[in-house]
Amino acid sequence: MYTVSKITATKISARPWTRTRKLGLLSLAGLGVQAGFGQTFQNLDFEAAGSQTIPPSAVWLSWSLAATGWQHAGGANTFFVYHDSPQTNLTQTYSLVDSASTQWKPLAGNFSLAISSGYYSVAEANSTWVHAEISQQGLVPENAHSFQLLAEGHFTVYINSTEIPMSNLGGNLYGGDVSAYAGQVVTLEIANASTEFHDPVMVDNLTFSTQVVPEPGTFALLGAGLALLLARSRFGGRKA
């Protein structure tokens, strides 16, 4: 259990648009991360960080280097991206994961991004709890049926502030139905849904796919049906 003197925390949701998220959008305005009509999503695998040499000993990286194209929630420790190892801060943090990371390894390729929720600022009385999130605006391909990503941790996916139910497709691969947004310019958001300190979500290889992904409830029904068939098979075998 973590406590902070002179801080009374109020946990808040990142939905709908909050003051912290607006500040996050403003904090990157100077980097020119704006989407016009028809702009495609960029840097969905975070490999753009490899465009420059990152010293293994680097601790802080600019957003334009570590996660270009992405916006984020606002807060005291959100003006840069950490590098090398998980942080013990009580504020939300964003970290670039690569081969130099001491405790994490990328989910795919050379780079992944880890986001951890926390207080907006430990220096403010009554500081609010912020669910760390990254967002980007772009065009969903006209033939897209699903949104898929590699992820670890408790995360939530939103499109235009509407939650997209995600199903586990095996291992760290998750997918959700986005066919209703095909051919539209939307805001995609990945949020850390945890309400605990130092409980990061790591994401990588975000893609829009032509693959149809059943709703999570469908997987549950299929699983229940399979379990029932197996039970009947075993019971029938014993009866024989």
List the structure tokens of 12: 């808040």
Output the CA–CA distances (angstroms, integers) from residue 59 to 22, 87, 97, 101, 211, in the order listed: 26, 10, 12, 11, 39
Identify residue 166 by its one-letter amino acid code: M
- Residue 132: what pLDDT? 96
Q: What angle do CA 132, 111, 99 make, to 5 degrees?
A: 115
145-200: per-residue pLDDT in tens?
A: 999 999 999 999 999 999 999 999 999 999 999 999 999 999 999 999 999 988 99
Above 60 in pLDDT, residue 21? Answer: no
Residue 135 near residue 72 (C-beta atoms within 8 A): yes
User: What's the pLDDT at 10?
Assistant: 40
> What's the chain's average pLDDT?
81
pLDDT above 60 for 228: no
Q: For 23-32, 94-103, 199-208, which range has the lowest pLDDT when averaged over its residues? A: 23-32
| Confidence (pLDDT) at 116 | 95
State the greatest distance between any 2 C-alpha atoms of the chain, in Å, as a whole number.
74
pLDDT reported for residue 196:
92
Residue 89 scores a pLDDT above 60: yes
The whole-number pLDDT of residue 77 equals 85
Q: What is the pLDDT of residue 30?
A: 33
pLDDT for the residue numbered 217: 60
Mean of the pLDDT values across residues 26-37?
A: 38
- Does residue 45 register a pLDDT over 60? yes
pLDDT at 231 over 80: no
Cβ atoms within 10 A of the Cβ of 207, count?
A: 16
Position with higher pLDDT, 211 vs 29? 211
Q: Is the pLDDT of residue 202 over 60?
A: yes
Q: Band of the pLDDT at 12, cuts 50, 70, 90?
A: very low
